[in-house]
Amino acid sequence: GEDVEQSLFLSVREGDSSVINCTYTDSSSTYLYWYKQEPGAGLQLLTYIFSNMDMKQDQRLTVLLNKKDKHLSLRIADTQTGDSAIYFCAENTGGFKTIFGAGTRLFVKA
Amino acid sequence: SAVISQKPSRDICQRGTSLTIQCQVDSQVTMMFWYRQQPGQSLTLIATANQGSEATYESGFVIDKFPISRPNLTFSTLTVSNMSPEDSSIYLCSASTGLNEKLFFGSGTQLSVL
């Protein structure tokens, strides 16, 4: 079946790198996404990667995909207090349905 | 991209009543969806709102409890009927422009049922 798992909490110091990990089960996933949710707001797409890629970089964000292990990670360089939020990993298996993980709450300590 | 306006942003309701949540997109989109987000849990898809026809519900969700309308390509409503405290949650409207396309989200409706 379809399932996306991620750890619930991560705490880092301001200026350090954050790495949020995610595993998924559906090998037919075509797109994998990272969404960010700030308090009282909806989800905002941060970045995404197509399943035939293994890395994507976008400014401070680096996405790594290990398709063999069904493992996705999001690295945030030089983490700032404004990066404190919940980060959701999600997969799309080629249809209209997107499956979300439970979200990782990132705490950034000044 | 699409900007989604959702209202109300929050409400406190009495048990047994119903609440209708509205979702307006600023451009024509192919797909509209309704999700529920319970504290500490992932987003759960309630249904896909189909324009001009009945919504497609996911397992565990039924039309009598969560009637959905989508009269045109840019607007949808979700009603939470005969509410109980177990319905307390955040309800999110989302939309996409097509197959495999990323989702855009409204800011959510925080519902508390007393």
pLDDT reading at A28 higher than 80: no
Which one-letter amino acid corresponds to residue B101?
E
Q: What is the mean pLDDT of chain A?
A: 91
Cα angle B94, B100, B101; round to 5: 50
Q: Closest partner residue to B41 among A35, A98, A102, by Cβ?
A: A102
Structure tokens at A15: 């200026």
First-to-last alpha carbon distance for chain B, in angstroms, is 37
Distance separating alpha carbons of residues B59 and B40, to the nearest angstrom: 21
Report which residue type is found at B50: N
Beta strands A85-92 and A43-50 are: unpaired
Question: Of A81, A89, A87, A80, which Cα lies nearest the Cα of A105?
Answer: A87
- Between B40 and B108, name the one with better pLDDT: B108
How large is the average pLDDT for residues A66-70? 91
B chain contacts of residue A42, beta-carbon cutoff 8 Å: 4, 6, 92, 94, 105-108
A100, pLDDT greater than 80: yes
**Mean pLDDT on B55-65:** 95
The one-character DSSP state at A83 is G
* Per-residue confidence (pLDDT) for residue A2, from 0 to 100: 63
Q: Residue B87 gets which letter from DSSP? A: G
